[in-house]
Amino acid sequence: MGPVSVCFKCVSYLWHLVSYFLKRTSKKAIQYQPVCYVNAPLSTISRHRLNVVSRKFLVLDLDETLIHSHHDGLPAPPVHAGSAGGAVSANLAARADTQPPDFVLRVMIDQQPVRFSVHKRPHVDYFLSVVSKWYKLVVFTASMEVYGSSVADELDGQKGMLKRRFFRQHCTLDVSYSYSKDLRIVHSDMSSVILLDNSPSAYRNYKSNAIPIKSWFGDSSDTCLLNLLPFLDALRFVHDVRCILGRNTVQY
């Protein structure tokens, strides 16, 4: 191999290395750019419509919907192909777990101290600040209360957005060891209840009240929460959310 070939290979390698770091820096810059959903003033007809329909409940799952977490000293929960995309999701989770967490929780479980490193889904803070003006927010998680309550406290940030909360003891465990959520404990009128959840088993009995969302394990370029804002903005004007959400049940 001649000196020209060696020189060319070195230049090519350096170029690919520089390109890689430029793309990585660009992705981080895009991730942390300020975002804004244009909340235009309502027309007279729209304001009247909101006065006619009741204010609705937006029920929010936590793990892999709003956040992703892992804990020290205990084996990580298994990743099921049906709910998380199998090996691909496992790889994403492993990648996320090497990144600095957004916050750390220290809780006692079975009289043992456990530390959770928690990563927030991109734009979750902005998402909550916007939808809290449109809906009555409710946390409904299959996690243990000692953990789920601490996560909700961090996401709420003392703003009073996430006052109502339901945990594992409020779920139903079926024969396949998956948890389903009875939305009637949130509100008796199902026309006003919406569940945002990554797990189909959670809303198996309320498919016409559910908005599915892709499980999140750490992808910094994820925009699922932002993408939902226009839909959630429009959904608050309908009389019965099931007349819209029920159209997608065939996909579940």
Residue 237 to residues 137, 213, 222, 229, Cα–Cα distance (Å):
16, 21, 27, 14
Verify whether residue 61 is a known catalytic residue. Answer: yes
pLDDT in tens, 203-232: 999 999 999 999 999 999 999 999 999 999
The pLDDT assigned to 51 comes to 86
Q: Could you give the dihedral angle defined by the CA atoms of residues 106, 111, 112 and 115, in that order, rounded to the nearest 10 degrees?
A: -10
195: confidence class by pLDDT, cuts 50, 70, 90: very high
Task: Assess contact for 195 and 209: CB atoms under 8 A.
Answer: yes
Residue 8 has which token pair?
């060319």
Q: Is 3.40.50.300 the CATH classification of the domain at 43-251?
A: no
105: confidence class by pLDDT, cuts 50, 70, 90: very high
**Residue from 201, 203, 198, 214 nearest 241 by CA:** 203
The chain-wide mean pLDDT, for the chain, equals: 83
Range in 5-19, 55-69, 83-97 the model is least confident about:
83-97
* Structural domain spans, the chain: 1-33, 43-251
Verify whether residue 240 is a known catalytic residue. Answer: no
Q: Which of 63, 97, 156, 219 is catalytic?
A: 63
For 252, the 3-state DSSP assignment is: coil
pLDDT at 10 over 90: no
Residue 209 has which token pair?
């009240």
C-alpha 56/C-alpha 44 separation (Å) is 20
> For the whole model, what pTM was predicted?
0.79
Q: Which of 61, 102, 219, 222 is catalytic?
A: 61
C-alpha 210/C-alpha 228 separation (Å) is 13
Q: Which residue has the higher pLDDT, 100 or 175?
A: 100
